[in-house]
A and B are shown apart, each in its own frame.
Chain A
């Protein structure tokens, strides 16, 4: 392999890892909701799209940097998510119907409405947010003058990645160290036991959906400096989120992180070596491979030591 090939490979891997970190954040939100509520939120990407428009307008109108607007957008999305859970999903959980998949179909409906409303209000134009650090990058040769290969690290990508990691760590603290976090985990593991232990399951569901929305909202803000914004991007990210969830193992947070990273790297590799247009196919190929060869996802490997069903 010559230097250029090595360079391309390393650059691809770096890009994949950075993307994967952000994917992980999206996946965690979805997997949390799946773990606690046992439903798949197919409006997940659309929630991210809403958050991205919030961040976009905060930047354009009030000149608030996207990285700072996380602090505004995430709480707003938290309440938005709680409202969806309270007024739309909860009633359906109580309706008896032939197909339990009704709840999933409901979230599809919510996603359709959100995407379409965004088109009506903001048109289907592609927008990018003109942050002034958008194309800044660090170069390996700046640090190591005689480096045989040249690698670059985009500033916004790196900042977004680091923030995604920080948010994930904060979430981990919340879930393992606080009472509410522990109750959420208890609800996810065994809902009946949780009820017996006096956990207010209804409230945990509300908080979880809010949290899932806030996480994907935060991810949206982190994507704003590095990605285009258009109303139908939600569908794409919903698919990404659930591919990660399947790959990681249903309801597993650690699995979602690993799944996100794998997916990011894999997509990056497909885009470099096969072609940009095939990146979405790469995504599904990995999804299908996971379904066939690793039905429990990454989590099943991590969990080998726990009692089965």
Chain B
């Protein structure tokens, strides 16, 4: 039964728009799926490989701007940004990896945080390419309806899920977890830690960038403050995974459901709307102290999965 769960969920998700959801509901679903993709991507690098990134906005934003710049500078459809972002993000991940992956633990985290900020400031200042803080607006949208956007992000999510699952269950997955648990031990057991950390970073960056490129097409407007946001992208990414469960397959999905719904709920409260970061911050603190492995990770039934999202 458990084996078929992903297909079952995918099937249900695929027929959902057919039952006539409101535009708002569809938007929420699209956001949930998009954040699941980013969460799964982060989880591969952070949860499994132990390289905690505080700068996934650097990848999301570059994906988003790949699509945006294609449209703005070359006048081609922003959808071409989705395939092209794969290439761009591999290059970006290799550069960022070269600089940051020599650092360990929290220092890697901080270096990635810096990278996110570098990308934001660069996007703000390279006005010829990005229009700076004005941002890039898509003048015509592909569809007025949200249904097709829904199917596209669902496809990206399905691909991401399969990629992450295949990788984690392969030799790479063992290497990633070994690196997370003890880098020196892993290295002395013949694991080329630099190489495998770079691979994890590349996969993670590409998936995040796909979500970014999708975002441009879906929202029709991007600016550096939004797509390279430290709190609203990089930190929320971490929260999605932490709330759901670090190093679990379903953690990022559960986490994104909770985070997106929570964000919507807080926004709808008349007085507390502006306090959403306070509430997020408190949630983060509470989760870290009381549920350090997230909802999925600390779920007693699957406690045995603890730390390695699989048991034969």
Direct contact of A and B (CB under 8 A): yes
Residues on A with beta carbons closer than 8 Å to the beta carbon of B235: 108, 112
Q: Is A277's CB under 8 angstroms from B288's CB?
A: no
For the complex, what is the distance from the CA of A238 to the CA of B307, rounded to whole Å?
A: 31
Query: A116 is contacted by which of B242, B278, B307 (Cβ under 8 Å)?
Result: B278
B267-292 residues with Cβ-Cβ distance < 8 A to A are 274-278, 280-282, 284-285, 288-289, 292
Residues on A with beta carbons closer than 8 Å to the beta carbon of B282: 109, 113
Q: Is A91's CB under 8 angstroms from B117's CB?
A: no
Residues on B with beta carbons closer than 8 Å to the beta carbon of A108: 54, 235, 238, 284
Q: Tell me how far the C-beta of B251 lies from the nearest C-beta in chain A, rounded to whole angstroms.
A: 11
**Given A95-B292, A280-B121, A281-B122: A291 in contact with B246 (beta carbons within 8 A):** no
Q: Tell me how far the C-beta of B232 lies from the nearest C-beta in chain A, rounded to whole angstroms.
A: 11
Asked if B256 is an interface residue, CB under 8 A from chain A, the answer is no
Q: Tell me how far the C-beta of A280 lies from the nearest C-beta in chain B, rounded to whole angstroms.
A: 5
**Secondary structure type dominating chain B contacts:** helix
For the complex, what is the distance from the CA of A88 to the CA of B289, rounded to whole Å?
A: 8
**Secondary structure type dominating chain A contacts:** helix
Q: Is B111's CB under 8 angstroms from A280's CB?
A: no
How does the 8 Å CB contact mask read for A68-104 relative to B, with 1 for contact and 0 for none? 0000000000000000000010011001111111111
Query: B307 is contacted by which of A39, A98, A235, A288 (Cβ under 8 Å)?
Result: A98
Interface residues on B, range: 35 or more
Residues on B with beta carbons closer than 8 Å to the beta carbon of A115: 277
Residues on A with beta carbons closer than 8 Å to the beta carbon of B230: 235
- A91, A101, A287, A291, most chain B CB atoms within 10 A: A101
Q: Is B288's CB under 8 angstroms from A291's CB?
A: no
Asked if B52 is an interface residue, CB under 8 A from chain A, the answer is yes
* Segment at the A interface, from B66-74, B75-83, B97-105, B185-193: B97-105
Asked if B110 is an interface residue, CB under 8 A from chain A, the answer is yes
Name the residue of chain B whose CB is nearest to the CB of A115.
Answer: B277
User: Which residues of B are in contact with A by a Cβ distance under 8 Å?
Assistant: 46-47, 50, 52, 54, 99-100, 102-103, 105-107, 109-111, 113-115, 117-118, 121-122, 124-125, 180, 230-231, 235, 238, 242, 246-247, 274-278, 280-282, 284-285, 288-289, 292-293, 297, 307
